[in-house]
Amino acid sequence: MKLVYTHANNFIVLNAKNIVESASIKVFLKNEFSTGAVGELPPVDNWLELWVLEDLHYERAQQLLAVFDTQELADWQCAKCAETNGAAFDFCWNCAASSHHSITVS
């Protein structure tokens, strides 16, 4: 078992977990319930950690997460109402249209 990813933001670690698991790599979360120890231990010791269960999948998991860490998504323009939406949105905030038929904004 090897540590493959950690971050101060639990949501980022959980997203990394989803990415690795989507490649059929089994993982384990450590410190998932350690928030009660905040103040007793250094903050970094309470960060959520993503571990790969089988060492032979470690390299592949690192490759997947390297792409995840460097990937910059572009904002997009809604094809229905022409409103600009942030890259994190799958649906237009203005008219609720899907981003699938949108135009990428630089």
* Residue-wise pLDDT tens digits, 46-71: 899 999 999 999 999 999 998 877 66
pTM score above 0.75:
no
Long-range CB contacts for residues 96-99, cutoff 8 Å, separation at least 24:
none
- Segments in the chain below pLDDT 50: none
Q: Where are the beta strands (DSSP E) in the chain?
A: 2-7, 27-30, 48-52, 76-77, 84-85, 103-104
Are 50 and 16 in contact by the 8 Å Cβ rule? The answer is yes
Rounded CA-CA distance 31/46 in Å is 6
**What does the chain come to in residues?**
106
Rounded CA-CA distance 89/37 in Å is 34
